[in-house]
Amino acid sequence: MYQFTERFPKKRAFITGAGSGLGKAMALKLAADKWSVGITDINAAPLAQTAKEIEALGGKAFQYTFSVSDKVAYAAAAKDYLAANGGIDVLINNAGVGDGGLFEEYSLDNWDWIVGINQMAMVYGSHLFVPVMKEQQSGHIINVGSMAGIANMPNMSMYNVSKAAVQSLAESLYVELAPFNVGVSIVLPTFFKSAIMQHNRGPEHATSVGKFMAEKQKITPETVAEKILEQSGKGKFYIYHPYSAYWISLFKRVFPSLFLRLKVNMFKKKKWVLENLKK
């Protein structure tokens, strides 16, 4: 039993991007504790499968098929979930997409797309549910960010910027909501096994490495989900997993200039490789 289950006996959670991967893993783990879980995804079929598995585990599923970047659709889903459950205990802002490409080559339309999903969706969800949590004087928000928002590696500025915003939002809300007994956590992982690059819009030569890294990992979404629910349930704000993420963050804080120089050298070598691959 998770500490969240002890803290929130009404057991009400809302999770975005729950049709697969990390979102689904967290939904199923809460379902095993008999939670009522609102789940969203842009694809109806995998979302329906998640709902079926939630019900099989003894939980209750509320399905909402829409893009989290659509604030009107999001508002309708939140209203329906709150009406059906009388409130919310845990909001997990999980939905996200990965991409890559040089800054000047990535179109502004694509910037709107990735920021809408990775950044604004977390603003929408928090904006819709925070008033309810403050009125309840209870609740917890989990933002799934990325070490990319701290490391800011080259060839992925669009992803870095959107994930840096996720952390900034979480830190801001942590302070604002503390007086109302509402907790906040930010998850800062490096790579684990996922399909985060499945909807990428950047060029193949710029995204192939990210796809490979995400697909070859041995760390599963279930392992990461377990860590997130355990640590956020204990009230931990910064959640690093795999733990290598913590050391990357620490290295940058202690040696910021060296960190930048190492990235420049790394990118110079990578740029040479990419240029020769194109020939």
**What is the DSSP pairing of strand 90-93 with strand 60-65?**
unpaired
* Contact call for residues 204 and 5 (beta carbons, < 8 A): no
CA distances from 207 to 24, 111, 127, 198 (A): 24, 15, 32, 10
Helix 256-278 vs helix 244-254: crossing angle, to nearest 10? 110
Residue 81 known to be catalytic: no
Q: 70: which residues sit within 8 A by CB, 6+ positions away?
A: none
Dump the DSSP string for 45-113: HHHHHHHHHHHHTT-EEEEEES-TT-HHHHHHHHHHHHHHHSS-SEEEE-------B-GGGS-HHHHHH
Catalytic site residue from 159, 174, 238, 240: 159
Active site residues: 159
